[in-house]
Structure 1
Amino acid sequence: MLMDWFTELNPSIQALFGGLLTWGLTALGASIVFFFRRINQSVMNMMLGFAAGVMIAASFWSLLAPAIEFSEQNGQISWLPPAIGFLLGGFFIRLLDFVVPHLDSNIVEEAEGPKTGLSKTTLLFLAITLHNIPEGLAIGVAFGAAGIGLGDASIVGALGLAIGIGLQNMPEGAALSVPLRGEGLSRLKAFNYGQLSAIVEPIAAVVGAAAVLAIQPIMPYALAFAAGAMIFVVVEQLIPQSQASGSKDLATLGLMAGFTVMMILDVALG
């Protein structure tokens, strides 16, 4: 069976497939540009809220909870490695935001990071690409945790995480490609920007899995690092962007729906 074949693969290869899945779902979301020039802003806000909910739930159930469990199993202070890793993850994304020019939202006019002459299109692309890195790392460390037999960690659970992140990538792909189409780019160019923003995910997934397999003691730090990075992205970008143009109730309901879907996926599959 396909699942039996998949479980026999090296965890780094499993992580690569998981990252490719999220990339493919990003491309699926970006492909909406071939059918619509614009998306109703209320719908977009709800989709971004959904993405935020998925990432919040994944950060706890798939990353922080296993990090705490691993610390306990290894005789460490249960909360210390997760706390350190979580804060480092947030600082890492803040550092990237500081050194790489980017534009967090199509409705924001002023770029963050160093001064640059890059186009608005490129700055939007860089923002979403940067914020896809922790998602790839999360997938990688989840498969790495399953590979070393960490507690309740399982390949099925790691796949559930990849599916959940892929689902939240769909609105992100659309959130990049559709505004770019509205600014005059061709459908194909807008689509390519949208789907290429997630190319870092399979790369980061392999890096994350390989790192924890090579240096198992970093596992709780790596899991929490990915969680901290994802929460930083949610609070700094997704939630403000989902509520910046009205429809706050819809955005909040979308967040709750995303949280619920990811919770069900993680608990049922994990």
Structure 2
Amino acid sequence: MFKLAPMNRYSAGNDAQYHNCHIPCRLNAIFTRDSRRVCCRSRSRTGRSGAIAFQGQALVWLAATVAFLALLAVGRRRGKPPEGIALSTYMALGIGLHNLGEGLAIGTAFALGEIALGSFLVLGFTLHNLTEGLGIVAPLLKDKLRWPTFLSLAALAGLPAVVGIWVGAFAFSPHWAALFLGIGAGAILQVMVEVGTYLQRRLSQPDGSGLSSLGIAGFTIGLIVMYGTAFLVKF
């Protein structure tokens, strides 16, 4: 859907084209889909729908708030928002923490015998992680970096999902699930704040650009796919 510009042809519009489409979808998804997943899994494993559901939601919001503020403080410890490789690293870290919760959901689905649901989650997470990868490398378009750097960023963003699958499959707990998903939600929110700040600076430059027709089309298609796949998943 989105094409990454060559490394030697940097333009701020390339960043805007991706992030203007991606950020609103992620903000809507993290606090609805993940919270609902925690509550539904808690009910199915414990049978105490009232108290556990409330505790799960409260723990998600608390963990998300703490994770967001902690990562934001670390990222701006030098008094300014991160740029370049620092921004990409914080994005990969935030996405990795978020993927930890996604791996937890996949592992839990397989542990409960929901093979179809687990396979569907793998497919859905794979599709949207492709676009997250584009977002990680977007701030690096003007830098000449070696492949080990990109592999390190990919590992930082992707390997936590493997850990989440193991935890979800062999040591599931609804309270740990709420904690991990809350941390992931706060981390991805911090990513969107930093990217939004980065885009605001880039778009204020002479070579910056606003929303393009391709970006609007991608945003619309993303919403349709997100809600369309959500209707197909039965909790």
Length, aligned pairs only? 219
* Displacement after TM superposition at 1:88 (Å): 0.7
TM-score, normalising length from structure 1? 0.64
| Residue 56 of structure 1 pairs with residue 20 of structure 2 | no
- TM normalised by structure 2 equals 0.71
Structure 1 residues 125 and 164: CA distance shift in structure 2, 3 A = same
5+ long unaligned stretches in structure 2:
none
Find the counterpart in structure 2 of residue 135 from structure 1: 98
Are 1:216 and 2:173 an aligned pair?
yes
Matched, 1:82 2:75: no
1:93-132 matches, cutoff 5 A: 93-99=68-74, 102=75, 112-113=76-77, 121-132=84-95
1:263 and 2:235 aligned = no
CA distance in 1, matches of 2:187, 2:122: 20
Distance 2:228 2:147 in 1: 31
Q: Equivalences for 1:1-270 in 2 at 5 Å?
A: 32-34=5-7, 36-39=8-11, 41=13, 43-60=14-31, 62-73=33-44, 74=46, 75=48, 76-77=50-51, 78-99=53-74, 102=75, 112-113=76-77, 121-149=84-112, 154-180=117-143, 185=144, 189=145, 192-212=148-168, 213-217=170-174, 218-234=176-192, 236-244=193-201, 245=203, 247-250=209-212, 255-268=219-232
Identity %: 17
Provide the alpha-carbon RMSD of the alignment: 3.6
Per the TM alignment, residue 265 of structure 1 is displaced from its structure 2 partner at its CA by: 3.7
Runs of 4+ in 1 over 6 A off after TM superposition: 150-153
Q: Aligned equivalents of 2:41 and 2:118: distance in 1?
A: 17
- Distance in structure 2 (CA, Å) of the matches to 1:204 and 1:29: 26
Q: Which runs of 5+ in 1 are unaligned?
A: 1-27, 103-111
Select between 119-128 and 132-141 the one with higher mean Cα deviation: 119-128
